[in-house]
Amino acid sequence: MTRSKLIAGNWKMNGLAASTAELDKIIAGSRDLPARVEVLVCPPFTLIDRFADRAERSRVAIGAQDVHAKESGAHTGCISAAMLRDAGASHVIVGHSERRTDQKESDAEVQAKAAAVIAAGLIAIVCVGETEAERDAGEATAVVGRQLAGSLPAGATAANLVVAYEPVWAIGTGRTPSTADVAEMHAFIRGRLRAQLGGEGEGVRILYGGSVKASNAAELLAVPDVDGALVGGASLTAEQFLPIGQAV
């Protein structure tokens, strides 16, 4: 089975209207990327509409970093999947470890959000990953297995689900797991996807995330069952982001 590679940028709480110039550079540079590469930029909510207009008819898709599980209603300050689709988003990151920690999001909430994303016709990128203490205790796969069991929505398919494995201790730290550890975890996740989703589990892309940059991308993206990258810091400029796509 050939799965195309997805190189996704998570801009987190970064970006103002002036950042459109950087998106333009990403769009221009994406034309030279290998055919098997898909590019996604997930800016803050405030830029989705503007970025989606800009990226129309380009190779760059635009996504969101979070969503509310409900379609509409009395939820001050929240954004629904229908609103994101309306603004031009095609993908939504759910369950990022920063939200699991800062907003105390549970597996059940992440699952409800992912289900809402899929119900709206968008692609859910469900994040999982262990803390350093959990890895040191030898619990990394048990933790990720629990997160997958609790966070993946029923009825997900290869077309509407992406999983991102992001060890919490590797995010924004410049540290990455060994390729052997990445291979082991991605093989474990593939097994769980097959068990939970049957044949569809084979086609679901599994991204690696956590300190991915130009200098380590080729090595990480060559690991079996690594179907792309979720990139934070290095996705903010075309200069650092595009070489990650070139590394495929």
Residues that bind ligand PGA (CB under 6 A): 10, 166, 171-172, 209-212, 230-234
Q: What angle do CA 147, 76, 15 make, to 5 degrees?
A: 70
Whether 166 is catalytic is yes
Q: Which is nearer to ligand PGA, 12 or 54 (CB)?
A: 12
CA distance 113 to 123: 11
Please, which residue, 134 or 166, has the CB nearer to ligand PGA? 166
Cβ proximity to ligand PGA, 5 vs 197, nearer residue: 5
Q: How far is the CB of 171 from ligand PGA (least distance, A)?
A: 4
Give the Cα separation of 204 and 189 in Å (integer): 10
Smallest separation, CB 230 to ligand PGA (Å): 5
> From the CB of 60, what's the least distance to ligand PGA, in Å?
17
Per-state percent for the chain, helix, strand, coil, to nearest 5? 45, 15, 35
Task: With CA atoms as reference, report the closest residue to 180 among 225, 144, 132, 137.
Answer: 225
**Do residues 94 and 110 touch, judged by C-beta distance below 8 A?**
yes
The catalytic position among 68, 96, 105, 109 is 96
Instruction: Tell me if residue 109 is catalytic.
Output: no
Catalytic site residues?
96, 166
